[in-house]
Amino acid sequence: MNSKFRGTLLGVLIGDCCGAVFEGEVLDAGQKFVLRKFINKLEGVSFTAPRQKYTDDTAMTKSVARCLLKYDEKSYQKNLAVDFVKEYCSSTTSRGYGDGVQRLLVTLRKEKFEDLLGPARNQFNGTGSFGNGAAMRISPVSLYCVNKSDDFLFDLVGKTSEITHANVIGINGAILQALAIREVLKLESDDLDVNNYVTNLLESFKKIEKGEDEFGIHEQKFYTEQLEGMRKLLNKEILPSDEEVVNILGHSVNALYSVPTAIYCFLRNVNLLKGNREKLFRSTLEYAICLGGDTDTIASMACSLVGAFTGDSIIAKNLIKHCESSEEIIELSDKLYEIVFSEIFKK
């Protein structure tokens, strides 16, 4: 399990570091070749410094991990807001934060964290952000909740998300990614029944997206519909092209059009590499970036799933070494593992 914890957070880091180079692009055959060469170089021994830089995806994930290490129901959310701001302000390089979130972090600081949730609710003329920023940083919550109830996980995802993302699409994207990671963390073998896995996520989301108001029960099929689209793509006899995948699932900063895409990247490669698990990390990394668009975030979320599934042993050692702050990421994973499992031993 320790290896799965490391794999999860290293997946976030490496997907982010590699994907960031191609963020916003649509990759043609030439650029896909450049991408392959680029990852080969990072996996090789001859790569020279500086190491590949991470972006906001990893920066915010580190904050979540740090604050979970000192988790206390009452102070967690404030600690996290403060840590987000500190991390944002202390960075000497541009980490590519979303435009909305940058304004929000500045507001939180200016108003001395008096109102923790108000600024997020005011984003985008009061709709709140539907960006994937809550989902991209959620993996430490899956680690923390590996043995906890669904309700505990939903609550913690909410607390972790709503400081910056008040829109239900943004928050539910984080719930989807958190559930998706926790499911594979819990698997004991490297055998994953993909159909069953998607069915479980679908069942969870049918409940989450079913609401009741004065007009009775209604169903908002946002993620449910995306998951159904994902299932169709996974079951196609002919492997869908990148264009087809992007048309159906999307590749944008909108959580609805990137979280299911990341899960699809993972599952497609699991299906393709049955009996060849050593290749799963590299292959998912490359595939996720090939889809273009929000490449750092989609690769980060997809690789986090691979790491949670296989552990860190299949990740090329040089690739780890050549990404900024990988030592710190490993340390955070190990500490999270320690507190999660020492709590169980205490019981």
For the bound state, the minimum distance from the C-beta of residue 55 to ligand R7I, rounded and expressed in Å, comes to 5
Q: Which conformational region is residue 128 in: left (phi greater than 0), alpha (psi within -120 to 50 degrees), or beta?
A: left
Where does this chain bind ligand R7I (CB under 6 A)? 55-57, 96, 98-101, 124, 127, 129-133, 136, 167, 253, 294, 296-297
DSSP per position, 13-60: HHHHHHHHTTTT----HHHHHHHHHHHHHHHSS---SSPBPP-HHHHH
For the bound state, the minimum distance from the C-beta of residue 294 to Mg ion, rounded and expressed in Å, comes to 4
Can you tell me the distance from the alpha carbon of 302 to that of 258, in angstroms, rounded to the nearest whole number? 10
Residue among 173 and 311 whose Cβ is closer to ligand R7I: 173
Residue among 55 and 224 whose Cβ is closer to Mg ion: 55
Q: How far is Cα of residue 95 from the mean position of the Cα atoms in its chain?
A: 16
Q: Does 55 bind Mg ion (CB under 5 A)?
A: yes
For the bound state, the minimum distance from the C-beta of residue 204 to Mg ion, rounded and expressed in Å, comes to 25
Residue among 297 and 310 whose Cβ is closer to ligand R7I: 297
Residue 252 contact, options ligand R7I, Mg ion, none, Cβ 5-8 Å cut-off depending on partner type: none
In 10 A of CB 29, how many CB atoms?
A: 7
For the bound state, the minimum distance from the C-beta of residue 41 to ligand R7I, rounded and expressed in Å, comes to 22
What's the Cα-to-Cα distance from 175 to each of 39, 42, 137, 221, 295, rounded to whole Å? 30, 32, 11, 15, 20
Residue among 92 and 149 whose Cβ is closer to Mg ion: 92
Termini Cα distance of the chain: 19
Near Mg ion by CB under 5 A: residue from 161, 167, 297, 326 = 297
In the complex, the residues that contact Mg ion under the rule CB under 5 A are 55-57, 96, 294, 296-297
